[in-house]
Structures are given as structure tokens and as C-alpha cells.
Chain A
């Protein structure tokens, strides 16, 4: 009733304190996002969830909803910019979807489909990012890391372990693990950790599970990400 704002003309109710993205999710409206996960404190870094509020663009995962806000999300202008962001994420790392275990379950790939990204557009950076296969149960393939920090937050806030952190700066920002050797095997990380489950792309992968579900039958093969994630899941 009184606590509402409009999103692309639709009236969205919200609880005081809720962000625009949370309220939209509860109302079944999908706003693209990559670094947001309902179980963790918002980070606000990927900028995919950017919307226009009263003419100004801002990240909807960190912006609290306020009564009477007029929010635009599904405009051609905003989606074109979101598409450019996914292209940036693709060229910044090394993503070869056809050979990636995460293909079909990957939120970056699914978001790119949702936004109609047809090509990477920009020149690839081809960074050199060695994989870490030291851990008995888990492989880390940093080539696909989009620096969303979900694993960082999961390990810190849920597992109480601080296995992951971001280091470096600018384009050299990268993920590190909590061991002097820099190897996952020398941390207290286990497969049961929350951090083992949150990676939206194909970095943190369970060993010996490759292609258990065939490509074509995976989460976003069945339904596009907009329908899968909008249910506030």
C-alpha cells in the first residue's frame, strides 16, 4: 500500500530497508545481477543491476527503495550498457564456454544470453591466470573469475574462515587464498563450505564431477536466467 515505488511503470511494494533489487525480486521482476546473492551483504561492484532512478543511474542491489521512486530498468539504453559490461567481463578473463564445466549453469553466460550479447566486441586481454588444482576435492580456475567477491563473503560471513580475498588493484585485481603457499590445498577449505557453492561462474569447481549433467539439460538451458532468478531464489 503506502510503501511502494514504480519499476518500469509497475507498482512494487517494499519493506522499509529493502533494496530495489530485493523488492523487485520478491515481486517476481528480474533485474540482471552478478555480484548480488540474497544470502549475503550486497557488494555493488559488477554494476549489472544498474537502474535509472529519477533520471540518475545507480546500482539497485545497494540502493534502498524509497516511497514514490520512479525506477527504469528494462530500457534499451540500460540494457545496451549492461550488455557492454558483460562483454567487458568476457574479454577481461579467459572464457571458453564450450569447454567449461559451468556452461549452462553459469550466470555470466546466462546473463549474456538474456541481454542478447552476440559477440565479445572488445579485444580480448588474454590474461595469464594459472589454475590451482592443489586441493583434493576442488579445482580453482581463475581464468573465469569475475571478481564478484561472493566466495569472499561466503567464506568470511558464513564459514567463518576467510579462505578467499581480493588482492591487487585495478585491472590486476585478483583472488587470493589464505595460505602462505598461495595454494588452496594449504587452507582449511572443504567441499562442505558455503564458499564452495556460490561462484556464479566456473572458478570453484568440484573435482570428479565433470559433466554429471549433460549440456543442454542444465539450469539455464531449461529456462532463461530472467525466469529462473526472478522468483526471489
Chain B
């Protein structure tokens, strides 16, 4: 047998094992591609051959999906695939120098594969380890707290081809860093207690029958436990923790009231995509309180009558998969998942974990559902909304990790208890992911209403110039606003709280965020696909010293267009970091406006750099002096 035939056969064997595990179901495409890549280090054409034949789907479908996600490789990327987290906090902690150190150590260029095909080094969007950066992923396993010494050790391990499984275990230690705990992170919680409390709220007579009917059929009103549970959630005034702050009770009720077609079921999805740079509280909830989150999902299933659940876990948190699956297995063994949960007839619900593969936009709920269905993560046209037409066209609720954890506590302690915490418009607590310039970065849970100033004091921030609340899609505030409070009535947040002291250049902060949006735009709609690139080019132009006041007007215009024409929230918010910093830190920009009149971004001398590199020349005659266009 020829060598390439043997290779194809070996690949087919590996692919087949993966496909069987997913029952050859094309809606599991993202999961199948992930496992194929985990086994083969990339997704070779032979693997696609086999998938195409075995799944009976067109090749274009497989390649289209694989091509969308940053963590899927249709070209070889080496046996060690190293990605440096490129959040602004990683940069502040020196990630770029470490990246250069590793590259020169391994004799490779960033973004390229080494000539022997052993290793590649590149950058990736925030990996959610901002409180213990700089961080990297090696074949999707996270290493935090990188230092120059650690980089040398890593280079040596790679050069000696030590399998990742044999790298020192302490490299992979990730800390929770819980600095302030409140009702959620302090909860003494026995698995099953919230469900038992929810059931106990049902009127006594006919409880079994009413539960059974409602769980299966999600009948609209008037029956037993599920309605009582929904009432508690509403009474608690719980609002979504994923950013938009939609009323959880209303969302659940719409899903419950949505008609089911024959053969359909209701779906509960936990959004653990946590892609917003600077956010890492869902990671900590999933490591420290997984039962609370899963129980919240089960409470939701009880309330809306859902029988199937998913956790959509970002690919960057791949290392959480096994521990979380172990918790799920335990819950099944304890009859907290599966059939007739807690002995309630018809109370059937189970949870599977699906992993993402490096796409921030998949945190948007309809893109998330597309990805769960094994497709490219493109946001859907709405209406219809997921509550009526979600996963495989079935009624679906999508909620953030923290929302489910809060729901479990509400089921346990009641809505009134919860509503009394926080402020009038923002009930309960909020978990903040604090990072950047402070002494004690980490996780801080506060009742809503806490002031920015208080948080800064608690985490030991001094000389603070700015705080980016809720990540690049949130807002950037200056010291004059530090008495503002965290809450839906003032500063709503998905959790990121990134601190910049007076030594930081707020222009470069905004530029980093703009690069993030450009990299993460899904490319579906014209304004966001092209607009985020135009915005990035403008910011790079300012950074090169070619900016004029004219470019400010261009940025305003782009913002207007992205706000009004974009398909989803990514495009709507892509200009926020620039507008916020222009409004508050104008000197950082003015420093760059070396040109009074419009200056083109094109620089003839720069354009010749390729020719210089090819000819190995860098003498004065190989350079042009230009009359405009920034530095020579």
C-alpha cells in the first residue's frame, strides 16, 4: 500500500471513531471537527473526505464551518500550537516581549509554522486569564503567569518534543482568585436543594400530575410547581447577567408559552462563551460553583418545561470539559439529571457540554445557537427570536452562567429574599472580573449599587486614569465618574472591570480593542465586515503619525454607520472604545495628530519595505524621503 493510502486509512479510522461518538449527526459538526483536530493536530483534506462520505453532507458545508472558527486549522499548524492571549491586560504585563522571546528562541516568525513543522506561535483574543496574565494556550491548554524564565522552559520542552501531557503540571495551574464573595460565591449549597425547594412550592394536591403535564407540555398557566417557580424568578426581578439585562422571568415565560410542534422539545442553553475581553467570572463560577449553575439550568427546565440542555463553553476553556462532565455524571447518579428527576414523574432533563472554537461572536445568542447546530457562527435574522424558534427551530432560552447560578439561589430562598438585595432597579449581586493596574486582581462579588470608587479601593488600585467597564463593548470612564454605580440604572456590565493607571496610553488601549473587533467580526454583514477593518486601518494610521482632524470625522461617520446598519451587537458597539476615549482622553489622540490637513495612509517608503527585505538592502538609497506621511 502506498504511503499516502496508509495515511488516508489511518485518518479515516480516527475520524470514524469521532463520528460514531456523535451518532453521525451533522448538527454536531463543530464538536466533531474539534475532536478530529485534537487527534490529528489539524483537519487534513483526508479527514474531510471521510466526513463528507460518512455524514453525507457536502464538502462545502464542512469546509465552510471549519473555516469560520479561529481554532480550526485547514493547514498544518505544528504539533505545538502556541497562542498568546492578546488582551490589552496581557500586553500591559509584557506579553509582546515574551512572544518575541519565544519566537527568536524557536527561530520562527509569529503567525508562521516552523520549517520542521513542529511548532507555531501566534496571538489569540483574550483567553479569560486577565487576573493572572500574561497567558497562553498550548493546543488549547492554558498556561498563565508567563515569565521570561517560563518562556525559556517552554521553548526547551518544545525543542525536545516533550509531549504536552508530560509538561510540569504546575504550568497549567489556574487560580480562582476570589477576593470578595457574596450570596453566590459564598453559597452553602447542597446539590438538589433548589430543585426540592421549587417542588415544595407547588400546591399539594395533584402535584405529580401537574408537574408531569407541565414539564412535558409546558402548559401556559395555572399549574403547580413550574408556575410557582416562574413567579419567584419574576418576583426576584432577576435580569440577565450576559450584558443586555433582559428580564429573565419574561424570557422564561415566553419560552414556556411558545407552542411546540410535533416532535419538538424546549431547550435550555447556558451561555459560557465569555468572550468579552477582560471577563473571567463565568470561568470561576464553573470551577467553584458548577452545581449551582447546573441546578439553575435544571430549575429553568422545570419552569419552562424543557427536556434538553446545553452548556456552550468557549474553546479557550477546553480544560474545564472533563471536570464539568464529572459533575454532570455525579448529578445523574444522584437523580438530579436524567429521568424523573427527584422522583417527579416526567421530570426529564439532561445537559451536554458543547465547546466553541475561538469565535467571540458565538456569545451572541442566535450565533451561539447556529454554532450549537454545527454551523458557522453567524447571528440570525430576528424576529423570530430563540424563545420561539431557537435550537433546531425549537423554543429555547439562552442565559448567562451567572444568571443560572442566581436562579438556583432564587429557587432556594425565594424571590422576595433576592429582590431585597442590591438596588431598586438591579436586584441581587454582580460578579466583577477585576484586572489591570491594581494590587489584587481577581473576582469580586458585590450587591448591585457598588460605586466604581469602592471597587477601586477594594482591589488596591492607585493613580487610576480610567476603568473599562464591561469590556470593549461596554464603556470607558474617567476619574470624574468614579462615583457612578454598577447597576442597570447607571453602568450595566457583563462583568469586566479593567483598570488603567496614569502610565497607560488610552489611545493604545482603544487600538487594541479595535483590533479585537476587526478580528472577531463574523463577516456576514457589509457594515461590520468592512467597517471594522476601516476603523482598524484608521487607528493604525493615527498610530503611525499620519492622523489629521479629518480622521476624527471619519471615525464618527463609521460609528454612525455601524450603529445603524450592523446586523448584531458586535458591529453596534465596535466604535465604542474609540468614541469613549476620544471624549475623555483627547490628549492621547491629539498627540498623534501631527498633521493639520488630510494625509493619506499610504506611505511610499513603507511600501518599499518588502523590496528592501527581498534585496537585503537597507542603505539610504533604498529609502525615500517623503514630504508627508509620518515618520521616515
Contact = CB atoms under 8 A, between A and B. Distances in A.
Q: Indicate whether A and B interact.
A: yes
A48 B527 CA distance: 10
A24 to B, nearest CB: 18
B58 interface: yes
Contact of B60 (A42, A44, A172, A177): A177
A57 B572 CA distance: 12
Contacts of B532: 170-171
Interface stretch (A99-107, A137-145, A157-165): A157-165
B64 A88 contact: no
Contacts of B564: 50, 57, 81
Interface string A23-43: 000000000000000000010
B520 interface: yes
A156 to B, nearest CB: 8
Interface in A37-90: 42, 44-48, 50, 57, 59, 62, 64, 81, 84-85, 88-89
A81 B561 contact: yes
Given A84-B557, A169-B70, A47 B567 contact: yes
B523 A170 contact: yes
A172 B526 contact: no
A228 interface: no
A233 interface: no
B393 interface: no
A176 B527 contact: no
A223 interface: no
Contact of B602 (A81, A89, A123, A172): A123
A178 B60 contact: yes
A171 B460 CA distance: 41
Interface in B26-83: 45, 48-49, 58-61, 63-64, 66-70
B359 interface: yes
Given A57-B565, A172-B523, A180 B59 contact: yes
A169 B533 contact: no
Contacts of B565: 47, 50, 57, 81, 85
A219 B522 CA distance: 34
B376 interface: yes
Contact of B529 (A84, A162, A173, A177): A173
B525 interface: yes
Contacts, number: 119
Q: Which of B63, B521, B537 has the most CB of A within 10 A?
A: B63
Q: Which of B359, B383, B523, B561 has the most CB of A within 10 A?
A: B523
B530 A42 contact: no
Interface in A170-189: 170-173, 176-180
A211 interface: no
A151 to B, nearest CB: 11
By secondary structure, the B interface counts as helix
A171 B533 contact: yes
A85 B527 CA distance: 6
Interface in B498-541: 518-527, 529-534, 537
Given A47-B567, A123-B602, A167 B59 contact: no
Given A62-B381, A178-B58, A167 B64 contact: yes
Q: Which of A46, A47, A168 has the most CB of B within 10 A?
A: A47
B560 interface: yes
B392 to A, nearest CB: 17
B122 to A, nearest CB: 15
Given A47-B565, A84-B561, A169 B526 contact: no
B601 interface: yes
A165 B519 CA distance: 21
Interface in B367-395: 376, 381, 383
A88 B521 CA distance: 15
A171 B518 CA distance: 8
Contacts of B64: 165-167, 176
Contacts of B525: 44-47
Given A123-B537, A169-B359, A173-B529, A180 B560 contact: no
Contacts of A147: 523, 529
A146 B49 CA distance: 29
A141 B13 CA distance: 38
Contact of A169 (B67, B383, B561): B67
Contacts of A44: 381, 525, 567
Given A167-B68, A170-B532, A179-B59, A45 B524 contact: yes
Contacts of A64: 383
Contacts of A162: 58, 60-61
Contact of A170 (B519, B557, B566, B567): B519
Q: Which of B518, B521, B524, B533 has the most CB of A within 10 A?
A: B524
Q: Which of B66, B383, B520, B530 has the most CB of A within 10 A?
A: B530
B33 to A, nearest CB: 13
A166 B523 CA distance: 10
Contact of A176 (B63, B533, B534, B561): B63
Contacts of A163: 60
Contacts of B60: 162-165, 167, 176-178
A26 B340 CA distance: 54
A50 B563 CA distance: 12
B339 to A, nearest CB: 39
Contacts of A179: 59
Given A81-B560, A85-B565, A167-B63, A125 B533 contact: yes
A91 interface: yes
B560 A170 contact: no
A126 to B, nearest CB: 11
A66 to B, nearest CB: 11
Nearest to A180: B45
24 contacts: A44-B567, A45-B525, A45-B526, A57-B565, A59-B567, A88-B530, A88-B534, A89-B526, A92-B533, A123-B602, A125-B533, A162-B61, A165-B58, A165-B63, A167-B63, A167-B66, A169-B68, A169-B359, A169-B521, A171-B518, A171-B532, A171-B533, A173-B529, A176-B67
Interface of B: 45, 48-49, 58-61, 63-64, 66-70, 359, 376, 381, 383, 518-527, 529-534, 537, 557, 560-561, 564-567, 600-602
Interface of A: 42, 44-48, 50, 57, 59, 62, 64, 81, 84-85, 88-89, 91-92, 122-123, 125, 146-147, 162-173, 176-180
Q: What are the nearest 4 A-B pairs in CB distance?
A: A167-B67, A165-B60, A173-B523, A162-B58
